[in-house]
Amino acid sequence: MTLLGAMLDDDVRPNRLQDVAWLREYQHRGSPVGDPLMLALGETWDHTPKALLDALREVPPHTHGYQMSMYGLPLLRRLMKRYVAESQRLPESGTWELAVSWTGTRSAMRDFASYVDGQAQAGQPTALVVAPAWDYAGFLEPLGYRMAYVETAASDSFIPSIDEIRATAEAVDELTLVVINAQHNPTGNNWEPEIVRSLVDVALARGAAILVDDAYFGVCPEGVTPTSATAVLLEALADTGQIVPWVSVRSFGKQFHCNGWAIGSLVAEPGFLDDFVNETRPQHTYNYGTHLQYAMAQWLADGPAVNEYLRRESSELEVKRAFVAEAFGNRPNGGVIAGPAAPYALFPVPDEFLGNEQEYLRRCAVRAGVFLSPTWPLARVSQLSGNGFVRMYLGPDLAVLTEALERLGKAGLFPR
Ligand SMILES: Cc1ncc(COP(=O)(O)O)c(C=O)c1O
């Protein structure tokens, strides 16, 4: 059975995503121009480090039971703490502590947002998020949050301006939560520390909670220093002496191509984190996945191998990024936006699809078998409109990206 078959063949509708409906339509027609090329989800289903997979075969029997610590397997937690501290350049002081998340980081973010909402004054909570964004609204809106988006422009590569951040915050009556995603999905921009600091400052000025999402921290190429949003936040807290609830998460699924393992780090103020892992999170989840944490610990223990793997992956990514940018003509304004800090490229749809990006995505899928996503990568059906761009995931091999662009060209769907 093919990989996609193994994941989708069932007698129920596997999910509600629009592109999965198109995928099935394309496959039912016998995949007329070749196997579907999956560039919508940020997922390769391969490229996982061999040593990480090998470690999975060596797990001791006790790892199949519940674990005891709500902070995660101690062996992994200690290694992860050192790894996060070093790579994210966090101070050594006791102002933060780390727990392992074994439920992915999305559910930890949701738990945090729910906690913050529970503490907020009466009235509708509001979350400030830079647009376009990963699907934070997907868990915030159902919790009752209103979204306040910081508008950005394609001509600025969708990098937020400090003025706009301040103006958006000022226009909100009840600022409850500020979300910071400095290695930005979908643009791949690495926000400068001043931008991160301004987001932190608007939160501190209003007593709002702060959610740092460092999902792509580990994928920048050599020579690019990713902004450590968590370090900026800790510095601001130390400078101002202010206290607001905050959490910083980092998914390990992206950098090590093991999203299905759902492992990530949770960093927060030690007292808060203790309550968060021991009271908030067990409301819905027990201590699972020890075998995965054990294997991740074996892998993280080999620092040189981890660094070499990340170096190779990110240099391959640079080649793919340059290839896609070149193919689209590298137009500086309104052309491809493919920052160095996340494995995505945004490119403008052909003029005739402006305002109807969904139709462009549909045609790419059903006519070329090329699956792309909107600039708002959502895990649900939504009314958010496009902004003249679509997103291509750059994780798969160069040959796959080359074929995808060829197919778009042949189908008349390559933007001119
Ligand atoms: C920006 C961003 N944050 C968080 C996540 C969620 O990662 P996890 O698998 O840890 O829940 C993703 C996954 O796509 C992401 O792109």
Q: In CATH, what number is assigned to the domain containing residue 151?
A: 3.40.640.10
Q: Whose CA is nearest to atom 3 of ligand 1?
A: 215
Of 105, 109, 214, the one to substitute when testing ligand 1's pocket (max ligand atoms within 8 A of C-beta) is: 105
206, 273: one domain:
yes
Spatial separation of the C-alpha atoms in residues 235 and 222, rounded to whole Å: 25
Helix axes 303-327, 290-300, angle to 10 degrees: 90
354, 366: one domain:
yes
The atom of ligand 1 lying closest to the CA of 253 is 9
Q: Quick one: 152 exposed, middle or buried, by C-beta within 10 A (0-12, 13-18, 19+)?
A: buried
CATH number for the domain that contains residue 10: 3.90.1150.10
28, 85: one domain:
no
The atom of ligand 1 lying closest to the CA of 263 is 10
Q: What is the DSSP string of 163-186?
A: HHHHHHHHT-SSEEEEEE-SB-TT
Beta-bridge partners for 178: 128, 210
**Gap from CA of 306 to ligand 1 centroid (Å):** 20
287, 318: one domain:
no
225, 290: one domain:
yes
Spatial separation of the C-alpha atoms in residues 129 and 126, rounded to whole Å: 10
Beta-bridge partners for 266: 99, 249
125, 262: one domain:
yes
Q: Which residues contact 38 (CB under 8 A, 6 or more apart)?
A: 4, 371, 393, 396
323, 378: one domain:
yes
Tell me the whole-structure pTM to 2 decimals: 0.96
Spatial separation of the C-alpha atoms in residues 404 and 416, rounded to whole Å: 16
Give the residue from 302, 327, 360 where a domain finishes. Answer: 302
Give the residue from 302, 326, 348 where a domain finishes. Answer: 302
**Gap from CA of 4 to ligand 1 centroid (Å):** 21
| Residue list, ligand 1 pocket, CB within 6 Å | 42, 104-106, 134, 181, 185, 213, 215, 251, 253, 259, 264
Give the residue from 302, 329, 354 where a domain finishes. Answer: 302
**Gap from CA of 105 to ligand 1 centroid (Å):** 6
Q: Is 76 left (phi over 0), alpha (psi -120 to 50) or beta?
A: alpha
Instruction: Compute the CA torsion angle 314, 408, 400, 216 (nearest 10 deg).
Output: 30
Q: Which residues contact 312 (CB under 8 A, 6 or more apart)?
A: none
**Gap from CA of 185 to ligand 1 centroid (Å):** 9
**Gap from CA of 215 to ligand 1 centroid (Å):** 6
Q: Is 334 left (phi over 0), alpha (psi -120 to 50) or beta?
A: left
Domain membership of residue 225 (yes or no) is: yes
28, 80: one domain:
no
285, 334: one domain:
no
Q: Which residues contact 325 (CB under 8 A, 6 or more apart)?
A: 335, 336, 338, 345
Instruction: Give SS3 for 292.
Output: helix
Domain membership of residue 86 (yes or no) is: yes
**Gap from CA of 27 to ligand 1 centroid (Å):** 28
Look up residue 20 and give its two tokens: 């999965």
Domain membership of residue 59 (yes or no) is: no
343, 297: one domain:
no
Spatial separation of the C-alpha atoms in residues 330 and 335, rounded to whole Å: 6
Q: Whose CA is nearest to atom 4 of ligand 1?
A: 215
* Number of domains the chain contains: 2
User: Going by DSSP bridges, is the β-strand pair 389-393/373-374 parallel, antiparallel, or unpaired?
Assistant: antiparallel
Domain membership of residue 398 (yes or no) is: yes
Quote the domain boundaries for residue 221.
Answer: 65-302
Domain membership of residue 58 (yes or no) is: no
Spatial separation of the C-alpha atoms in residues 394 and 49, rounded to whole Å: 18
317, 378: one domain:
yes
Domain membership of residue 22 (yes or no) is: yes
**Gap from CA of 53 to ligand 1 centroid (Å):** 21
pLDDT tens sequence for the chain (416 residues): 788 888 888 899 888 888 889 999 999 999 999 999 999 999 999 999 999 999 999 999 999 999 999 999 999 999 999 999 999 999 988 899 999 999 999 999 999 999 999 887 778 999 999 999 999 999 999 999 999 999 999 989 999 999 999 999 999 999 999 999 999 999 999 999 999 999 999 999 999 999 999 999 999 998 999 999 999 999 999 999 999 999 999 999 999 999 999 999 999 999 999 999 999 999 999 999 999 999 999 999 999 999 999 999 999 999 999 999 999 876 555 589 998 999 999 999 999 999 899 999 999 999 999 999 999 866 555 555 568 999 999 999 999 999 999 999 999 998 76
Q: Could you tell me if 396 and 345 are in contact, meaning their C-beta atoms sit under 8 angstroms apart? A: no
Domain membership of residue 222 (yes or no) is: yes
Domain membership of residue 151 (yes or no) is: yes
Beta-bridge partners for 175: 126
Stated length of the chain: 416
So what's the pLDDT on residue 22? 94
Of 134, 250, 267, the one to substitute when testing ligand 1's pocket (max ligand atoms within 8 A of C-beta) is: 134
181, 327: one domain:
no
